[in-house]
Structure 1
């Protein structure tokens, strides 16, 4: 049994923490949001009085925060100083590659270990323990983190050194955003040509256009009963989060001088979607903006 401090008990973090408990680990949590604390308490997760208190006796610290600035501030302000020497920090927020590397350097300088391990799979994946983890860090630290990640996820990939888990995440989500837009545009075009949604789904889902954005996250009601489109685009993965991740992709595109025209366009479209009603809707709901574009 490993004692884990889990900081960030929101829609993703709480079910991840619950799955660690189910796997036999001792989990102590902390969050700044009262509603998250109440939900965690109801789920049986003991809540510490502060982040420093949560990590003081932990073997492993897992953070799931909104942005990189929160991670770095928490590391610098209290977590690294409060943790026992050699504590393994697993950083599962989605943050910029350079922020992940800064967090890694801070942890190492303070006498700890660190991996970046962002996730893919959304709230459903977190609840079902089927998340994908993309991990950056040393071989030894990856091996130490692996049993915990396996309690929360189904596919865990060691992507390389520090920051490369975040690199894989930003590339994956750029692909996902572009494909979700393409699928949405195809359904809108099909509607205007007179195609039934089910007919188009039956073709594309078994043809060369097949992708996750249609077989799992189909943006129209009907063909995939579990898709957010059948729940009035209740996330799932919210448009605001996709816009945030594409902002990180844009940083990487510009920082590397990559000619990524589709990535830039996807970032523009999701920024506009999130600025409207799409911020709290599933990112597949961008089909509503595409329908209204004309």
Structure 2
């Protein structure tokens, strides 16, 4: 279904093609429309397309059609294979590089490998376009609020041209270096995040075994040297941080399956560089195990439930049921169950 754009979307006189209107791309494109940009979008999932149309995005019947006449093309897709295929076409389609206007500026916002990002950038230049890799951090909440952090790789003049758009969708925009540097920063950032969430979760389970309430541990660690984003923003237990996914049955947020994917990209980069990173690799294994267990659609902070389950199966001296009962006397109680969540796919 094609929807004509509202008159306000013509304010900036720039046509944007947006490919991938899922949990992240949809809100990002909607924020551009709200800021007065003309956005034509495409997503093969009917629900995503319908939601995009409701947000004022003109919906096209194909990716090629969405970027026809566009001076800026934004992609937000699941994997590097998806990105390279949609850029070059698959035999039945022209591909975005052929369908877009000459000298279009491509903003590739998916999280993919550094190798795929540099390959995509080379293809953009070979076909007469400009390109940036610009992955994001901040999750669905950040996409909806327009407070994402963009990590950008590419030429300085292209970064300057894209900056007004990126500032609509994000609260912080960092030029990290040349092609692929944005993806490199994203992979490193998420390796830190994955490791720190496991550490925070292990600490809370240990605190339960030692008789600490969730609130007491939070009050100490959040104001001490244990302070980190995984604790103060995405706390893995309900109560101390009301906005954290733990308070809504671990609905993402940032899905565990996506963390497993990103840590897989980090492992590939570790292999290619020869860097020894034992915690990063082990974190990837833990999140893959969480995903394989059927909890990949839950927020990545649900890893705490895996730690509790492993503690119980090990037959530790601490009594989980007793400590859980202790915690149930305040508003910060949690259980060892693994509640179902929503898909966190982009």
User: Following the alignment from structure 1 to structure 2, what is the Cα–Cα distance between the partners of residues 75 and 119?
Assistant: 20
Do structure 1's residue 16 and structure 2's residue 28 form an aligned pair?
A: yes
Q: Which 4+ runs in 1 deviate beyond 4 A?
A: none
Q: Deviations over 1:36-88 (max 9, x none)?
A: 11111122211011111111111100000000000001111110011111000
Deviation of the 1:20 alpha carbon:
0.4
- d(CA) in 2 for partners of 1:238, 1:278: 9
Aligned to 1:183: 200
What runs of 5+ residues in structure 2 fail to find an aligned partner?
1-11, 90-94, 312-346
Residue aligning to 2:264: 247
User: What is the alpha-carbon distance in structure 2 between the residues aligned to residue 277 and residue 286 of structure 1?
Assistant: 12
1:196 aligned partner: 213
Q: Give the Å deviation of 1:126.
A: 0.3
Cα RMSD of the aligned pairs, angstroms, is 0.6
Normalising to structure 1: TM-score of the pair? 0.99
Preserved contact between residue 33 and residue 56 of structure 2 (Cα < 8 Å): no
Is residue 6 of structure 1 aligned with residue 23 of structure 2?
A: no
Indicate the SS of the match to 1:276. Answer: helix
Larger helix share, 1 or 2: 1
- Matched with 1:102 is 119
CA deviations on 1:122-180 (whole Å, 9 max, x unpaired) are 00000000000000000011001110000000000000000000000000000000000
- Within 2, Cα distance between the matches of 1:252 and 1:278? 26
Give the match for residue 152 of structure 1: 169
SS in 1 for 2:151: strand
Aligned length: 294
Q: How much does 1:103 deviate?
A: 0.3
1:75 corresponds in structure 2 to 87
Deviation at residue 278 of structure 1 after TM alignment: 1.9
Match for residue 291 of structure 2 among 250, 267, 274: 274
The two structures have a TM-score, normalised by structure 2, of 0.84
Q: 1:53 aligns with which of 65, 88, 97?
A: 65
Q: Which moved more, 1:282-291 or 1:33-42?
A: 33-42
Does the CA contact (< 8 Å) of 2:20 and 2:43 recur in 1? yes
